[in-house]
Amino acid sequence: MQLEGTVFDRAKALFLHYAEPLQLDAKYPGMALPQRLTIPDKSITVRLTLQKDNGTVEVFDAYRVQFNDDLGPYKGGLRFHPQVSLDEVKALAFWMYLKTAVVSIPFGGAKGGIAVDYKALSLAEKERLTKKFAIVLANDIGADTDIPAPDVNTGPREMAWMSHAWRMARGKYERAMITGKPLDNGGSLGRTEATGYGCAITLLEAARDKGVDPNGARYAVQGFGNAGQYAALEMSRHGSRLIAVCDSRAAIGNPEGLDVEALIRHKEQTGCVADFPGSKPIDPPEVLTADCEFLIPAALEDAITKEISPDVKAKVISEAANGPMTQEAMEILFKKGTVVVPDILANAGGVTVSYFEWVQNRQEYYWTHEVVMERLTKRLVDSYRRIYERAQAEKTSLRQAAYEGAIERVVRIALERGTQ
């Protein structure tokens, strides 16, 4: 397997590695399936020009990769971060394609982003830049074509801005053109917490199978944005103790456990986890190697490397982030017996409730929080169980089993729709 190269090269190599047991070329000779499944349908690169508050102009690269729409309209979030590149967006779009297949929702895969230090912009600059992006993409996105959503550094506020700009550009209302909107703008109850909640729910299932009682167990969270925060809230609700956590600026710990609700308030007020009362500063890598039962990587790609994985002590890892460990790290952890709930299942709660939001928008009929959470939980637990059974039967990892199930589904649909 290719271990070097860009994040997309490696994502592709991993996919082909997991597809090997399915013998696609032997079963469907001459159908070029490996290529058809790993090359994006369309990659859009645009230049965004922003006039800053001080009158100067800055230019940013922005992207939308529409990976595959065999299973339904393209679907995936928008990430505003300096690290965003076409290559990264391709990898993230590829994972969306597999993720929607894992949880059986009728969408294809896409992802977008702007390479910008978004946090450094003023509120007015943020709004101008986001709306510009929506206008530039206006003809490429829509409820039946491609439906964006939040991702790193974007949330309901950005989705409302995008939806307003799209409406101005296209001259019509179409709530379902974007998901993750604020509630009074057509958002769904449960969408904000869905990714983190889903990560915790699948982690708890895996913990049960591994025989680890969550009540009193210790856990660490790397990345304290939306996904990390809601995953922590759910874990604490099940009696687990958060003993180490970091965000992009600082890392803190307390072996007795940190009060998650108070920490979220502290982060809202100060913008950072640093100086949280009752915590001690620690080195960020110590979050990954903390002495604990569960680990939730909830930041960016490639956080868990081959260098650090031998020191990872957690028994169960649930990937709230997309692609948070390298392939070598995956192998080291698998050999050690660490259970890893893979990203394409662990963080699929977000896109699942995005799907629910899209359904509610199309019907203009809104569900209660209870109904959303019940349907979300059932879908994730059913997907987890299916993957777990397969992994047990084939004596393989949850990731291998999740990929195989997703690949079977995308192959079936690719063949059904014909090749012309």
Nearer to ligand GLU, 100 or 289 (CB): 100
Phi and psi at residue 99, in whole multiples of 5°?
-65, -45
Tokens for 137? 């993409």
d(CA 63, CA 78): 9
Supply the minimum distance, in Å, between the C-beta of residue 111 and ligand GLU: 7
* Contact assessment for residue 124 and residue 91, using Cβ atoms and an 8 Å cutoff: no
Rule CB under 6 A: say whether 326 interacts with ligand GLU: no
Nearer to ligand GLU, 279 or 354 (CB): 354
Nearer to ligand GLU, 293 or 301 (CB): 301
Supply the minimum distance, in Å, between the C-beta of residue 180 and ligand GLU: 6
Question: Strands across the sheet with 109-114, in order?
Answer: 42-51, 57-68, 109-114, 74-80, 146-150
The SS3 of residue 43 is strand
d(CA 81, CA 89): 11
Nearer to ligand GLU, 10 or 75 (CB): 75
Which of the residues 146 through 185 are near ligand GLU (CB under 6 A)? 149, 151, 179-180
Orientation of helix 369-394 relative to helix 191-210, angle to 10°: 40
Annotated active-site residue in 111, 126, 131, 315:
111
Burial per residue of 131-147, b for 16 or more beta-carbon CB atoms within 10 angstroms, e otherwise: bbbbbbbbebbbbeebb
Stretch that binds ligand GLU, among 16-24, 30-38, 74-82, 245-253 (CB under 6 A): 74-82
H-helix segments, 279-366: 284-288, 327-336, 343-346, 349-363
Which of the residues 259 through 278 are near ligand GLU (CB under 6 A)? none
Nearer to ligand GLU, 214 or 324 (CB): 324
Rule CB under 6 A: say whether 351 interacts with ligand GLU: yes
Rule CB under 6 A: say whether 77 interacts with ligand GLU: yes
d(CA 352, CA 100): 8
Supply the minimum distance, in Å, between the C-beta of residue 322 and ligand GLU: 5
Rule CB under 6 A: say whether 354 interacts with ligand GLU: yes
Nearer to ligand GLU, 152 or 233 (CB): 152
d(CA 181, CA 406): 28
Supply the minimum distance, in Å, between the C-beta of residue 341 and ligand GLU: 14
Rule CB under 6 A: say whether 112 interacts with ligand GLU: no
27 burial class (0-12, 13-18, 19+ CB within 10 angstroms)? Answer: exposed
Phi and psi at residue 23, in whole multiples of 5°?
45, 55
State the residue number with the nearest CB to ligand GLU: 77
Supply the minimum distance, in Å, between the C-beta of residue 343 and ligand GLU: 8
Supply the minimum distance, in Å, between the C-beta of residue 226 and ligand GLU: 10
* One-letter amino acid of 72: G
Rule CB under 6 A: say whether 347 interacts with ligand GLU: yes
Rule CB under 6 A: say whether 229 interacts with ligand GLU: no
* Contact assessment for residue 91 and residue 109, using Cβ atoms and an 8 Å cutoff: no
Confirm whether 111 is a catalytic residue. Answer: yes
Rule CB under 6 A: say whether 226 interacts with ligand GLU: no
∠370-374-375 over CA atoms, to 5°? 120
DSSP 234: H
Nearer to ligand GLU, 214 or 223 (CB): 223
DSSP 189: T
Rule CB under 6 A: say whether 228 interacts with ligand GLU: no
Question: The dihedral of CA 233, 235, 237, 239: what is its sign?
Answer: negative
- Binding pattern for the stretch 34-73 against ligand GLU, x by CB under 6 A and - elsewhere: ----------------------------------------
DSSP 260: H
Nearer to ligand GLU, 180 or 186 (CB): 180
Rule CB under 6 A: say whether 198 interacts with ligand GLU: no
Query: Which residues are annotated as catalytic?
Result: 111
The contact set with ligand GLU (CB under 6 A) reads 75-77, 99, 149, 151, 179-180, 322, 347, 350-351, 354
